[in-house]
Structure 1
Amino acid sequence: MNYATGKYITFLDADDWLDSEGFPELLLQANKHNSDIAFGQSIKHDDRGISKLGRFTSFKVENGLIPYEIDKIFRAVGPPGKIVKAEVIKSNKLKFKHLKFGEDKLFFIEAISRCKTASMNSAAVYHVNRYNENQSLVTETNILEKTADNLTVLEEVLQLNLPEKAEFQAISRIVEVDFISRLFNKKRFLKSHQKAEFYDYFKRLTEMLRMNGKNIEDYLIEDKYKNNFKLLNEHRYDDLYDYIALLIKGGKADRYIKNNQVHFVMPEQLQDLIPVTEEMFAVYEGTHEYEDVHYEQIRVYKHPDITIDKVLFTEIHNEPHAQEVKYVERDNKIYIKSSVLEDIAYNFNIVLIYNEYKPYTVNMNLPNMKF
């Protein structure tokens, strides 16, 4: 990177490729606004189809953003979809630390945190190759090896003297994603015969934070992770297994509707936890006629703070191919004129975009309990 002569530097993993239209568009935007960093849409290609990655980095066209204040920005800390000003990298002497796993994470946490201005664009700029024949080191790395490197990443982050908001987001990501979601909330943990090592790594995480004057609970944002911590902290390991099994079941778990939100049925031993809910659930209710006009009707169950921004007809197995449609939202229902279906020439899912960037695919069945 020290030998780069251009104003901006981008990063490309082996077997991935840049978009011939979207990438130049993002680069021109970054240059026009003299942004320190720019984020565009990354597209994943695998044997199941084509999908979007990290929508939170690329859901609109905007400039003058503070990069480390973008919601969940440190959930995407790899090369895809980023352009960074060369001067930021050189003046801060940013380098990739040699780790078997986690070098990208550490580098981009610091790079994003050192940038003062950002541009964002919803255009596809980067394509990720995840076809089966393209097996990466990430898929080959043992979870405990990953976790050891994640401790190293955290240790480094704590010494970087990052801006307060950047440090908070970075630590929260490491705690929630790396040390709870990926370490514990997986079938591999439930099946593992090395559970003591998992617990030891989590203990080392909390101790490292404590030694640096930080409380792990301050970095737990989502309720489901707060539940994980409570069970781990109280050494309620049997209850932890039951809780993780519930999360893994997801849509196949027993659920019910209360106060217009979907709730999971919590076993007796988990009643003291924060209730597990789905912030958004929507179900297709068929074609209805109102005042001689036919509408496709969708019933929405959601947290009261959630706002629906748009409705898309998204091609099955090809998420980037989507058409936005007009709709009316009233009394927790969405109405789409049936006539719009005449213009759709592909098989599609109905996808609701809420809270600016979050996608939700409409269901065909209501949640229920099995007896």
Structure 2
Amino acid sequence: MGKLISVIVPVYNKAPFLERCIESLIHLKHHEKIEAIFVDDCSTDDSLEIIKKYASNYDMVKCIQLPKNTGGPAQPRNEGMKRAEGEYLTFLDADDWLDCNHFIEFVERVKADGSDIGFGRAFKHTDKRITQIARFQSFQNQSGLVPYEMEKVFRAVGPPGKIFKKALVEMHQIELKHLKYGEDKLFFTELISKATCATMSTLPTYHVNRYSQNVSLIKTTTAFEKAKINFSLLKEIIQLDIPKAALVNVLSRFLELDFMKRYFFTKSFLKSQSKQEYYALFEEVCQVIENTGTAIEPLFTIEKYKVTYTLFKNKAFEQLEAFIKTLMSDEQFSRYVDNGVVYLESGSTDIPPLQVACYPVYQGTQCVDGQKYEVIEVLKPVDVSIRGVRAVELHNELNEKEIPFELKGNKLYIPTEALQYHTEVPFNLAVDYLIYDTERVYASYPSTQTENVMKRKAFKVEFTPQDTIKIGNKHYFKEAPKTVVTIKKVKLYGDVDFMHMVSELEPGSAIQIKGLSYSSMDTPRLETDKGYVLTANIDFVEPLKMVDSDTYITKMPRRIEVIKGCKLYTERSFKKEPIRGVKVGETFEIDDIIYTSNHTPRLKTVNGEYLTANKKFVKEI
């Protein structure tokens, strides 16, 4: 019996992340419709063992072992596609995960539409925040789209948030080409260009793991090297048999994303002593595009890139470099308001100021006809339309809610009580405009002051729940958590005014809290169970999440024994290469339990090294 969806996961030395990846798949609904194909590319860590363990317990999990390492994800994905039984296919990186709650609903919606390809929402997770990526591919629920005509669809040509028919791949014999960089770009460009119908969905589908800086070939490739690879990809894509509309959108992507944002608008370019090499390569790029019969200037959709191209074409290189430097330095941004529109000064009298499409400014709570409203003034050109307003959890775009509003002139009126639902978490407000664009609400108007620089002029409005209090621009616990974990290095003091330091705690340290105390200036402090004092600032400490004590050692052991082979690391995240493998039977004296940014416990040895606290690998003795 065929499957609805085949999830293809290339694996090479991803043991620290694999369990989360696989768990996201086995928690999906309708296992009978799903197969998860893990293609191991000769891993040298425990990846294969982990896959086989799950494959023995779950029929949906399939394991393929390649005979030799291929050096990249292209061939493992190709092998997975050949073996797949699903009507639809999707790629999942082994350190990422799928959305357990909505992915299958998304697939079923695409299937019901009979679409060749589906686009859902994807989110990037870092230590500091969760943000939506490629909003333009999933800003509304819509069917019957021509995929290659979707605006900016070629700006996101990686796996996140995409599923596609296996028949589409087979009909056009599309496969991934092994490259040092950009194999996804080539594959998905051709795939999207060959598809005839698409579904767009606002359902969350894919989560990108950027908690740890994994070693990758991409990170070892310089901006100039990437540009040369992109030039080769561009020439290859131009040779594809794809519709003219698709080619135009692809060329726009290469110009604006690959050769403006990631090439010229970089520190690498500004610091380069060989800028003529950059200009020479871009001259070749422009020539290749012009040879297709496509005019270059209309391909630019972003004004600052159009200006940069004009300066390049006129060989005004000094102006070009000064222009880029000005726009890349936030501190030098000078914005001002003229007739209800915000403009950004370019740094040159020869270059007109750039118009800002949307600049919303919070104007506080106002009473209108006896009703209280939160008022936002939207500084914008008259042809820029407002689509909606959302309350978005601070640093977590997964948690959001549409907010009712009235637009009167250039002001948004939000009923004050409409914001009360969000009091459990800090949040700010986002104004959605044009087709899919969005902008957070500013706390103040722009300024062109240079001699007297306006502080915090880029600050956005933040609403803080009542369990924290705000003093200045800092947030503090209003009530003491039972246990906190340090986010950064934190000092422990013997007094509430922080006059007598006792010790310094490393990031990831867990501290039992007895209650709150206050400094002589009424600043909240956390008092530990041992009578010491530390900051209550939520930028430095956060409540410890629930940890599964059946899986992990959570109470400080004096000594442990290794019961299953694992590795020893120099830091708690396990993101760097291990010091060495640890054999069964080895013992270690333990100094502390330290938590990762995700609150996974690690054991810190008396020698300052780290190993897993997972009870499958270690036991207390």
How far has the Cα of 1:251 moved from its partner?
7.3
Q: What is aligned with 2:569?
A: none
Between 1 and 2, higher relative CO (CA 8 Å, sep ≥ 6) is seen in: 1
Contact 2:248 2:294 in 1 (8 A): no
Q: What is aligned with 1:123?
A: 203
The 2-side partners of 1:162 and 1:367 are apart by 45
1:13 aligns with 2:93: yes
Q: What is aligned with 2:410?
A: 332
Q: What is aligned with 1:278?
A: 356
1:56 corresponds to which letter in structure 2?
Answer: F
Q: What is aligned with 1:41?
A: 121
Contact 1:280 1:300 in 2 (8 A): yes
Q: The residue matched to 1:2 in structure 2 has which SS?
A: helix
The 2-side partners of 1:360 and 1:258 are apart by 19
The 1-side partners of 2:346 and 2:431 are apart by 27
2:418 corresponds to which letter in structure 1?
Answer: V
Quick one: percent identity of the two aligned structures? 38
Q: What is aligned with 1:231?
A: 311
The 1-side partners of 2:127 and 2:401 are apart by 23
User: Structure 1 length as normaliser, TM-score?
Assistant: 0.95
What per-residue deviation string (whole Å, max 9, x for no partner) do you get for residues 36-88 of structure 1?
00010001101111111111111112211111111110111001110010011
The 2-side partners of 1:54 and 1:219 are apart by 19
Pairing partner for 2:171 from 85, 91, 103: 91
Pairing partner for 1:319 from 374, 397, 416: 397
Q: What is aligned with 1:66?
A: 146
| Structure 2 CA distance for partners of 1:65 and 1:192, relative to 1, 3 Å | same
The 1-side partners of 2:179 and 2:128 are apart by 31
What per-residue deviation string (whole Å, max 9, x for no partner) do you get for residues 150-182 of structure 1?
111110111112111111101110011101121
Q: The residue matched to 1:318 in structure 2 has which SS?
A: coil
Q: Which runs of 5+ in 2 are unaligned?
A: 1-80, 452-621
Q: The residue matched to 2:318 in structure 1 has which SS?
A: helix
What per-residue deviation string (whole Å, max 9, x for no partner) do you get for residues 106-156 of structure 1?
110110010001111101100001113334433332111111111111101
Q: What is aligned with 2:231?
A: 151
Contact 1:206 1:215 in 2 (8 A): no
| Structure 2 CA distance for partners of 1:348 and 1:32, relative to 1, 3 Å | same
The 1-side partners of 2:341 and 2:414 are apart by 22
2:397 corresponds to which letter in structure 1?
Answer: E
1:295 corresponds to which letter in structure 2?
Answer: Y
The 1-side partners of 2:331 and 2:134 are apart by 22
Q: What is aligned with 1:203?
A: 283
2:360 corresponds to which letter in structure 1?
Answer: A
Alignment of 1:153-302 (within 5 A): 153-250=233-330, 252-271=332-351, 273=352, 275-302=353-380
| Structure 2 CA distance for partners of 1:88 and 1:198, relative to 1, 3 Å | same
How far has the Cα of 1:250 moved from its partner?
4.5
Q: The residue matched to 2:329 in structure 1 has which SS?
A: helix
Contact 1:2 1:90 in 2 (8 A): no
| Structure 2 CA distance for partners of 1:174 and 1:316, relative to 1, 3 Å | same
Pairing partner for 2:430 from 332, 351, 354: 351
**Structure 1 stretches (4+) deviating beyond 6 angstroms?**
none
The 2-side partners of 1:218 and 1:264 are apart by 22
Q: The residue matched to 1:160 in structure 2 has which SS?
A: coil
How far has the Cα of 1:365 moved from its partner?
1.0
What per-residue deviation string (whole Å, max 9, x for no partner) do you get for residues 223-274 of structure 1?
2211111111122111011111222135751111123211122344433x5x
Q: Whose Rg is larger? A: 2
2:378 corresponds to which letter in structure 1?
Answer: V
1:303 aligns with 2:381: yes
Of residues 30-39 and 244-253 in structure 1, the stretch that sits farther from structure 2 once superposed is 244-253
Q: The residue matched to 2:375 in structure 1 has which SS?
A: strand
The 2-side partners of 1:208 and 1:190 are apart by 25
| Structure 2 CA distance for partners of 1:11 and 1:369, relative to 1, 3 Å | same
Q: What is aligned with 2:443?
A: 364
The 1-side partners of 2:82 and 2:350 are apart by 54
How far has the Cα of 1:218 moved from its partner?
3.4
Q: The residue matched to 2:164 in structure 1 has which SS?
A: strand
| Structure 2 CA distance for partners of 1:366 and 1:136, relative to 1, 3 Å | farther
What per-residue deviation string (whole Å, max 9, x for no partner) do you get for residues 163-221 of structure 1?
11111101110011101121001222111223122111101101212333333223222
1:75 aligns with 2:155: yes
Pairing partner for 2:181 from 101, 117, 125: 101
The 1-side partners of 2:376 and 2:227 are apart by 42
Q: Which runs of 5+ in 1 are unaligned?
A: none
How far has the Cα of 1:4 moved from its partner?
2.1
How far has the Cα of 1:307 moved from its partner?
1.4
How far has the Cα of 1:296 moved from its partner?
0.9
User: Structure 2 length as normaliser, TM-score?
Assistant: 0.58
Contact 1:239 1:269 in 2 (8 A): no
| Structure 2 CA distance for partners of 1:326 and 1:141, relative to 1, 3 Å | same
Contact 2:323 2:348 in 1 (8 A): no
The 1-side partners of 2:382 and 2:329 are apart by 25
> How many residues end up aligned between the 2 structures?
369
